Amino acid sequence: MRLTAKSTLPEVAVAVGAQLRASGITVILTGGACVAVYTDGSYVSKDADFVIQGMVRQAALDAALSGLGFARKGDRYVHPRLKFYLEFPPGPLAIGSDLAIKPVEVSVGKAVALALSPTDSCRDRLAAFYHWNDRQSLRLAVAVARSQRIDLGAIKRWSRTEGSLDRFAEFLRELKR
């Protein structure tokens, strides 16, 4: 896939995930870029975060991403025609204290990549709200929940284990507004 200055964050994120997958590197899309995918781009982050699964040599990651025009600059990857950059936060893939994350396939056009499920994307944003009082993350969790089918029961159970049932109740109030 050719990335241009007009490429959207969901297009970029899924193209990167697909490119890495084709190069034998398994990554899971997380964070705000996942929200952008699930809200059809109504939310735009400045970056796409991927958690690498397994051991990957830096040279292999650099080579795979150069195929799309990205170059490493410090701890991120930049593209000369894009306003978005890529980051690879350290694993393991987790949402709060939950390590049993099962990614799903997402697609944009013909590109297919692995990402958090809509429910897990919602939990990911709620984790930032629960633990750091990040109000924007609460709004993003609500946006995902309004745009996608999510499992509220699973989110409630997870919220209980995170000690945040009061914050879950606030999420539900925002969702009903």
Percent of the chain with pLDDT over 70: 99
In whole angstroms, give the CA distance from residue 76 to residue 88: 7
Tell me the pLDDT band of 40, cut-offs 50, 70 and 90.
confident
Task: Record the pTM.
Answer: 0.94
pLDDT digits (tens, 9 = 90+) for 44-84: 899 999 999 999 999 999 999 999 999 999 999 999 999 99
Cα separations in angstroms, 100 against 5, 57, 120, 145 = 37, 25, 11, 21
**Per-residue model confidence as pLDDT tens digits over 134-177:** 999 999 999 999 999 999 999 999 999 999 999 999 999 999 99
Q: Which residues contact 170 (CB under 8 A, 6 or more apart)?
A: 138
